[in-house]
Structure formats: structure tokens, C-alpha cells
Amino acid sequence: MQNISMGQAVAQALSEEMRRDPSVFMAGEGIGVGIHDSPLMPTYGLLQEFGPGRVKDTPVSEAVIAGLAVGASVLGLRPVVEVMFFPFFTLASDQIVNHAAKLRYLSGGKSAFPMVVRIKAGAGFGAGCQHSHNLEAWAAHCPGLKVVMPGTAADAKGLLKSAIRDDNPVIFIEDMGLYFFPTPVPEEDYTIPIGVADVKKPGRDVTVVTWSKMLGTAFKAVGPLAKDGIDIEIVDLRTLLPLDKETILNSVRKTGRLVVLHEATRTGGFGGEIAALAAEEAFEALKAPVKRVTAPDIPVPFSPPLEKFYLPDEAQLIQAIKDIVKA
């Protein structure tokens, strides 16, 4: 076991897959020679190892970066392209939403698009709302895509390997807040299946469904709640699409209470989907209303106290959980 950050885990997955399979190549803005040059960043050192033929620094052209992946993948390459910050997904979105997601269906199953779009996400960097805006619910609203959003470095490594080996377009969302903190990651070659949620902590009283960076926030609530005799179960979704309904429902049926925690804004957020799932399929098990702990419906503000206000924290989670345990 090694202690590495998620950025390093991503780099490890990328380099191992590129060594394993010559059809894997990467493209993106500043992925080879970048302005964020640090050994903790996810593409650090890859240009040196694989050269400019396989690690393609592109012009600032998100639409064609995504189109490059669509076209190269239909001819059998396995492109891994990067969208530097999640809001720039909008610039790449025609190729992702109208093409990557739909062209297999439109071909009647004849064509495949084994491509990965890595997206750097998450607020908390003082970058403001045009660099920070978690849009995973948009991506998850596109049948034909798979949407993966790991919450630990170890999951990121195994899930990214699965994404690269998957024959479908995978949107792989990395929260940059996880790039800089070392956690244990297995050294060997391993994969984690896409579409399988993970019960990161079993518990008795309340199910907390979360993903990405908010997994850490959920864990911060464990101790304080335990002092009040509340034992939470933490379900790390890991994949939003296809959704692992069974793991969620099994947990909700066990605890009878559900709180969904995500960094993205509330209205139209993916938390609503989880709440609806519980209401439709586990209503009889619910002992209390479902709660969502999310960012408010505002753009990510810049000023440090404002941005801190934006991000959901463990205090809000604890309060939401106490509210429904009382109820």
C-alpha cells in the first residue's frame, strides 16, 4: 500500500493503462506542458514518459477536444481527454451530449465509442463560478454516457482503469480538493467496477448517500453524531450513471432514513434523483422525510467566506441528520 493523493492515483492509472494498451492516448489543454506543474497533478510526467505522440497538448478548443475523442474512439483508439474545469464542459457538450452519448444508439449498436472525458471539478479554490460548477447532474441526464465521480484516491485509480477499458463514453469527474491529500492506494493493477456503489461505513440509524469530495464531509460527521448515539451508514455512490439502485435501496430499507449530501446546487441536483428513488421504491421503509444537504442555488462565489458558505459542511449534515432522527 502506498500513500498518494488522488492526482497521483489518476496519473498512476493513466500511465499503467498507456503502458498496457498502445491504443490509449491523451489530449487536453496543458496536460503535457502545463501551467499547474506539480507532481501532485494528474498528468504530471506523462509527456516525458509517452512523448508528444500520445500525450497531446491541444489548442484551447474544448469542442474539438471532445470531437477528437469521439472520432478517434469510433476507429478503435481509447482516447482519454481532459476538460480543465467543469464549467468548460459546456463548450465540449455538443460532442459529449449529442454525439458521444447518442452515436452508438443511432448506429443501432454497430459502433462503439470507448472514450473517457476527465473533468476537473469542485469548489474551494477561490476560482469563482466560471471555474467551479459541478454539473454532474447534466451529464447523468444523458443516456449513453457513464458518469463516475470517485471520492477516494484508491477508488479513482481502479475506476479510471475501468473507464479506460470500458467500451462506452465515460465522464470521469475528479474533485481537485482530493488532489493534494495522500491516502492509502494499493500499488497493484486493479479495477473497480463502474456502476457499483460502495458502503464506505456501515451504520444503523441513517443512510447518507454522497459522492466525490463530500465523502470526506460525511466522515467528519461520524464522530460527533456517535456522541449523540447516532450511527450513520455512508454510501459512496462512485458512479452516478448507471446508478446502483440496489445498494442505495438496501441501505435505506435497513436504516429507514435517508440524507443525500452533494456539493452541487440543490434544484435539479442529482440528490433529487436519489430522493425520488427512495420515495418510489422504499417508501414503506422510510421513518422520516428524506433530506438533502447541498449547496444553495447560487453560482459559486469568489470571496473566501462566501465560498465557504457555498460548500456544504458537516455541521449542516449533522443538523439534517438530527432533524430526521428526532422526527
Partner 1 sequence: MTSQKKYELYRGMLLIRRFEEKLTELCAGGKVPGMVILCTGQEAVAAGVCGALEKEDVIISNHRSHGHLLAKGADPNLIMAEIYGKSTGYNKGKSGTLHIAAPEVNALCTTTVVGGGIPIVVGTAFAQQYNKSGSVSVCFFGNGAADEGSFHESLNMAALWNLPAIFICENNVYSGAQRMEDHTKVKDIATRAIGYDMPGVVVDGNDAVAVYNATVEARERCLAGEGPTLIECKTYRWRGHGESDHQVYQPKDEIACWMERCPVEKLQKELLDEGFITRQEVLELENEINKAVEESVRFAEDSPWPAPEDALEDIYA
Active site residues: 62, 131
Q: Which residues contact 318 (CB under 8 A, 6 or more apart)?
A: 221, 224, 225
User: Contact region for partner 1 (CB under 8 A) — 13-21, 50-58, 129-137, 256-264?
Assistant: 50-58
Residue 76 or 223 having the CB closest to partner 1: 76
Q: How far apart are CA 28 and CA 92, in angstroms?
A: 12
DSSP 84: S
- Residue among 15, 90, 112, 299 that touches partner 1 (CB under 8 A): 112
By CB under 8 A, residue 30 contacts partner 1: no
DSSP H helices in the chain? 6-20, 46-50, 62-74, 89-93, 103-106, 136-140, 153-165, 214-227, 245-255, 271-281, 304-310, 314-326
User: Contact region for partner 1 (CB under 8 A) — 58-66, 157-165, 185-193, 279-287?
Assistant: 58-66
Residue 8 or 73 having the CB closest to partner 1: 73
Nearest residue to 178 via CA among 164, 193, 160: 160
Q: Least distance (Å) from partner 1 to the CB of residue 58?
A: 7
By CB under 8 A, residue 193 contacts partner 1: no
Q: How far apart are CA 239 and CA 286, in angstroms?
A: 24
By CB under 8 A, residue 168 contacts partner 1: yes
Q: Which residues contact 312 (CB under 8 A, 6 or more apart)?
A: 214, 217, 261, 262, 263, 293, 294, 295
By CB under 8 A, residue 325 contacts partner 1: no
**CA atoms lying within 13 Å on the CB side of residue 13:** 31
Sign of the alpha-carbon torsion through 180, 182, 184, 189: positive
Radius of gyration of the chain (CA): 19
Q: Least distance (Å) from partner 1 to the CB of residue 148?
A: 14
Identify whether the C-beta of residue 239 lies closer than 8 Å to the C-beta of residue 147. yes
Residue 139 or 259 having the CB closest to partner 1: 139
By CB under 8 A, residue 63 contacts partner 1: yes
By CB under 8 A, residue 66 contacts partner 1: yes
Residue 101 or 324 having the CB closest to partner 1: 101
User: Contact region for partner 1 (CB under 8 A) — 56-64, 82-90, 178-186, 263-271?
Assistant: 56-64
By CB under 8 A, residue 58 contacts partner 1: yes
Q: Least distance (Å) from partner 1 to the CB of residue 227?
A: 45
Which residue type, as a one-letter code, is found at position 211?
W
By CB under 8 A, residue 61 contacts partner 1: yes
Q: How far apart are CA 124 and CA 134, in angstroms?
A: 12
By CB under 8 A, residue 38 contacts partner 1: no
Residue 191 or 316 having the CB closest to partner 1: 191
Nearest residue to 241 via CA among 136, 118, 84, 134: 136
Q: Binding mask 227-266 vs partner 1 (x if CB under 8 A, - otherwise)?
A: ---------------x------------------------
Q: How far apart are CA 317 and CA 225, in angstroms?
A: 10
- Residue among 35, 76, 284, 326 that touches partner 1 (CB under 8 A): 76
> Could you list the residues that contact partner 1 (CB under 8 A)?
25, 53, 56, 58-59, 61, 63-64, 66-77, 79, 94-95, 98-99, 103-114, 143-144, 146, 167-168, 242
